[in-house]
Structure 1
């Protein structure tokens, strides 16, 4: 009488041994990630059925755990495939098979199940990575908002280290405003950040966005970063895009970042209101305009007293205002002013005389010229005469 074939499932010690061999074969990927896989595979070899939904859910969770533990997707898949072929001879369905057809059926079931398991692991792994990226982006966005808004200053220095910033020293902030808002993950932001990251000291530089501005935060000791930032912005935006850069002054500590950022935005606002030439506008060079705006009421009085008569000129105040602005911007040289405005010199001198006739202030008198110059600057800062027209 032939001996009875054993049909019991492999002993736990056998499966544990296989799991350990699979771990070694997969270059040390932890065997605990198999998490019941061999027992389930043994059952499938007998039933010829596939994984149940709850079993595939476990595989997805395994993939997610591997991602969280920093284990590569290749490694966790290698672990499962190694376990599959190492366990093959020990699986109940294979040991019970009495012919080639039975072995083939068991093999098809087992390797289809392995394929499904690997797919589920990859799905879980990729989903965990997506969540990790989104979580990191959320942390970064929250940190950037706190940094540039000046919130939670007591914790900022510690949080900054996570993003490569050291806020113990002084920092400067540059901000770019373009015709199109610049956003996190956008083409321009990515290109500028990637280029600056090629620097050996890039760990100390933060490139981000805030309210449509592209922002660069750097230690004041890295004196070449603002200029490099401007060059990379120019390369990313191209020559046909309208944009400006405001540069704040250096300030110490976490609170210094928000002060420098506010100054960078102020420099942008002043440059746009006054139509200042060039791309880079430094807050330190624009302090005089802050002084002018500090006593807004007095500035409004000066503009009104000196320039109000121009509103009665034929054609309105704008042509005369434009001529005055260009005249002072060109060092009070009528010929240079005429070239900028594409006018004849006689037209410029006529307009300047017309200003003197209407206001009583002549550009030929130094004191009166100073009053005119400050009044013209104040008018631009206050958006005069448009603002006067809006006043009831």
Structure 2
């Protein structure tokens, strides 16, 4: 129980709170250059916090046991936006300035006998206030982190669903995204889809994920931006500034679960990322048909599997970018590659079927490779060409049968 002398000392300290608060605000204005640049409202909130802290100290000084939690509650008078106005470092400066002002001022406001006792108490109290400030900022950071995780998951979902609009740009920028928003014209975006690690399925309730943080950090070290989300059993990564996405994804592969990783085609910006996302998702669905696919594998390398699995975009891409160029001119290239594939990959048999020299067949097959990017002499490429020719004939029957 506090003695009468201690209670009298607390009463004298109570009478000095107004002068102490005024002196603290004056010291902040004089010693902290950034304080004077704040708005009047923000300075008012800081003044309330300082006054609240001094009043709380008096109550704690009067009876420490009854007010043991007082230091942790002195920031209760500040709005949530308080932590956005000033940083933790600036808050520490405020606390330090306030404490120094009290220590320098109590000698003129209290009797000499009270000063050492109050000085010792303020040192103990200041330590608790510092911990309280750290707690406030830690909680604010945690709340922002959870909100950022949910916002990031929504952005990735918008890209996957093809619902990107101008709001996606601003929201991505709010998350620190600097690549692939079309501001420089040189940034590129690619969407990557793979299996999520087993530990991340289902994702945490707050939308966050350790693997998401790791992927984002690894992408940043590789020189790219990343928006990440765990969607059920798959991990989706939107890479910004991904001029060479496969090389970047090779550095991120360890954070994906077992199984294939599919990299969508590079597009010009975040608004066009749905094209890359569509191809990557379709590729992940079809990659099981190519057991020896590399990890990671580009979605465009899976065009035949995607076509056979029902991906209309892949079908049209093969028909327009592979089959259509072969039909140009007299159709000799189309006839040659078709005969080559039908002959089981024999150049001599192809030459006999077309009544041309074997070297002519080799020349035409090289032109096919240069024109389409697929070499008929390569087993994998020949499979792609076979599917492309089949789809081209199905999608353009009039070009193959003039009688129709």
The TM-score bracket by the shorter chain reads 0.5 to 0.7
Q: Does the residue aligned with 2:135 lie in a helix, a strand or coil?
A: helix
**Residues 157 and 21 of structure 1, relative CA distance in 2, 3 Å threshold:** closer
1:93 and 1:55 map into 2 onto residues whose CA distance is: 25
- Equivalent residue in structure 2 for 1:288, among 279, 304, 309: 304
Identify the match of residue 227 of structure 1 among 234, 241, 247: 247
User: Which of 67, 79, 83 does residue 94 from structure 2 map onto?
Assistant: 79
In structure 2, distance between residues paired with 1:36 and 1:295: 65
Q: Is the 8 A contact 1:174 1:264 kept in 2?
A: yes
With 286-295 and 114-123 compared, the bigger mean Cα shift is at 286-295
The one of 180, 192, 198 aligned to 1:166 = 180
Match of 1:176 in 2: 194
Distance 1:111 1:213, change over 3 A: same
Name 1:197's counterpart in structure 2.
Answer: 220
Q: Decide whether the 8 Å contact of 1:64 with 1:124 is kept in 2.
A: no
Contact 1:267 1:283 in 2 (8 A): yes
Query: In structure 2, what is the Cα distance between the partners aligned to 1:187 and 1:123?
Result: 22
| Correspondence for 1:212 | 233
User: What is the CA distance between 1:289 and its match in structure 2?
Assistant: 3.5
Larger radius of gyration: 1
TM-score, normalization by structure 2:
0.56
Q: Deviations over 1:130-179 (max 9, x none)?
A: 11221222222222222222236353233233231434476432222367
For the Cα contact (< 8 Å) 1:244–1:281, is it kept in 2? yes
Match of 2:22 among 16, 25, 41: 16
* Secondary structure of 1:83's aligned partner: helix
Alpha-carbon distance in 2 for matches of 1:134, 1:10: 43
User: C-alpha distance in 1, partners of 2:197/2:55?
Assistant: 62
Q: Tell me how far 1:81 sits from its aligned partner.
A: 3.5
In the alignment, is the contact (CA less than 8 A) between 2:287 and 2:305 conserved in 1? no
Aligned to 1:275: 291
Q: Which runs of 5+ in 2 are unaligned?
A: 1-10, 36-42, 313-340, 347-382, 388-404
For residues 114 and 242 of structure 1, the distance between their equivalents in structure 2, rounded to whole angstroms, comes to: 52
Deviation at residue 197 of structure 1 after TM alignment? 0.4
Correspondence list, 1:17-96, <5 A: 17-22=23-28, 24-25=30-31, 28=34, 32=47, 33-41=49-57, 47=62, 49=64, 51=67, 56-60=72-76, 62=78, 66-72=82-88, 74-88=89-103, 90-91=105-106, 95-96=110-111
C-alpha RMSD over aligned residues:
4.3
How far 1:292 sits from its partner (Å)? 3.5
Check if 1:113 corresponds to 2:125: yes
Which whole-Å CA distance do the structure 2 matches of 1:332 and 1:66 have between them?
73
Aligned to 2:144: 132
Q: 1:61 to 1:121 in 2, by over 3 A?
A: farther
* CA distance in 2: counterparts of 1:294 and 1:39, whole angstroms: 72
Structure 1 unaligned regions, length at least 5: 1-5, 297-327, 334-369, 375-392
CA contact (8 A) 1:244 1:268 kept: yes
TM-score by length of 1: 0.57
**In 1, are the aligned partners of 2:193 and 2:235 still within 8 Å (CA)?**
yes
- Cα pair 2:286 2:309 within 8 Å, conserved: no
Given the superposition, is the C-alpha separation of residues 88 and 223 from structure 1 closer, same or farther in structure 2, using an over 3 Å criterion? Answer: closer
CA distance in 1, matches of 2:311, 2:238: 31
* Distance in structure 2 (CA, Å) of the matches to 1:9 and 1:273: 82
Matched position secondary structure for 2:15? coil
- Alpha-carbon distance between aligned partners in 1 of 2:115 and 2:231, rounded to the nearest angstrom: 64
For 1:390, the equivalent position in structure 2 comes to none
Contact 1:248 1:283 (8 Å CA) reproduced: yes
Residue 268 of structure 1 aligns to a residue whose secondary structure is helix
SS at match of 2:237: strand
Distance 1:198 1:277, change over 3 A: closer
Matches within 5 A, 1:313-324: none
Closer, same or farther: CA 332–242 of 1 in aligned 2, 3 Å = farther
Number of residue pairs matched by the alignment: 286
